[in-house]
Amino acid sequence: MKRRGSDPAAACLAALLSLPALLSLPAGTAWAQMAADPAAAEALFREGRDLVAQGKLPEACPKFAASQRLDPGYGTLWNLADCLSRTGRTASAWAAFREAADMARRMAQDDREAKATRRATELEPQLERMTLAVKAPVPGLVVKRDGVLVDDAAWGVALPVDPGKHAIEVTAPGKAPFTTEVTSAGPGKTLTVAIPALADAPAGATAASPAGTGAPSAGTSGPLPDAPSASSDSGASTRRTLAFVSGGIGLAGVVVGSVFGVTASSRWSKARDEHCRTETLCDAEGVALTDDASKAATVSTLGFIVGGAGIAAGVALFVSSLGGGDDKPQAARLTVAPAVGQGSGGVLVLGRF
């Protein structure tokens, strides 16, 4: 069984849509995400399917998840969502089905979008939710559920959670941590977890200084004025690495945009010259050619947009990494504008450095 269809435009579009997310990742993570391994993804997918056939669903779900991370595709995501649903992880399955529906919509695959949307809708009445009610927010307060950070915008919001037990951990600078374990309330119900005001940390405990602030510890005179900052050097190095990552993504996007732009132009021309009497009156092959040309043009446009954004981000990151010490580099200002037409495509990048 193959993991996804054979439509190259759809596969390329899926890859392009995932590229902007790489720009927000740390350098090491970005390189890891770029190192897609379709062969390993296919092997993991097949192993997951074999485990499903053997009734070993709890072992199959991680295989599908790993395959999806290595080489994202609708087929893998659908099987992961179905596996999660069959093992009772309703919230995770609901989110995966919704993501699959969004992917299908971007690919203009209406039947797949409807199929995934229907499964997500069927799960909604079964969802169990949890509200984390923070009574006394303080600066630096961190709330985690099952080891995952809960953004402060989500405090007080009923969020879907998988059924079962969940660990809540709350910390803040100078405060004693708060931890508890709760169990979800059941299908269709919401559990509210009250996060109390944190008590002050014991008198003998001292909070660590924030990284990179250069704050001197007690009994010292602080860092020498001319001492190099290791965190500053590390930050500059990270920005340079991200600059090359972003630039590489940008160049890849421009190449993809160019290739699919030429393909779109070629198919438009063939349809117009050989199969269409007017712009709206075409034979069956002409209709197919114009449809293919439209899809290729969409991929081309996205390619140039992602490419331009990647190149712009790469330049900005590289320029920002050049400064050292107290000398701050001049802010880079860049404007990226795609320029795509029926027969051609390009990207306009304007900048001041």
DSSP one-letter code for 177? -
pLDDT tens, residue by residue, 5-18 = 434 455 555 555 55
pLDDT tens, residue by residue, 328-353 = 444 445 555 555 444 445 555 555 44
The answer, yes or no, to whether residue 78 has pLDDT greater than 90, is: yes
| Cα gap 236→2, rounded to integer Å | 43
The answer, yes or no, to whether residue 53 has pLDDT greater than 50, is: yes
User: Cα dihedral sign for 312, 316, 319, 322?
Assistant: negative
Three-class HEC string of 193-229:
EEECCCCECCCCCCCCCCCCCCCCCCCCCCCCCCCCC
pLDDT tens, residue by residue, 186-237 = 999 999 999 999 999 987 664 444 444 444 444 334 444 444 444 445 566 7
pLDDT tens, residue by residue, 100-120 = 999 999 999 999 999 999 999
pLDDT above 90 as % of the chain: 46
* pLDDT of res. 108: 94
* 94: confidence class by pLDDT, cuts 50, 70, 90: very high
Nearest to 128 by CA among 181, 185, 86: 185
CA 249 to chain centre: 15
* pLDDT of res. 249: 85
Nearest to 119 by CA among 139, 138, 144, 100: 100
Query: What are the helix (H) ranges across the chain?
Result: 8-22, 27-34, 38-53, 57-70, 74-86, 90-106, 110-123, 230-270, 284-320
Structure tokens, 301: 């446009």
The answer, yes or no, to whether residue 305 has pLDDT greater than 50, is: yes
* pLDDT of res. 278: 60
* pLDDT of res. 343: 45
Centre a 10 Å sphere on the Cβ of residue 141 and count the other Cβ atoms it contains: 17
Structure tokens, 142: 């961190």
DSSP one-letter code for 153? G
* pLDDT of res. 7: 47
* pLDDT of res. 252: 82
Q: 225-253 burial, b for 16+ CB within 10 Å, e for fewer?
A: eeeeeeeeeeebeebbbbbebbbbbbebb
CA 73 to chain centre: 14
For range 165-185, the mean pLDDT: 96
* pLDDT of res. 3: 55
The answer, yes or no, to whether residue 89 has pLDDT greater than 80, is: yes
State the greatest distance between any 2 C-alpha atoms of the chain, in Å, as a whole number: 87
pLDDT tens, residue by residue, 137-157 = 999 999 999 999 999 999 999
- As a whole number, the mean pLDDT across the chain is 77
Instruction: List 178's β-bridge partners, or say none.
Output: 170
Place of tokens 């069984």: 1
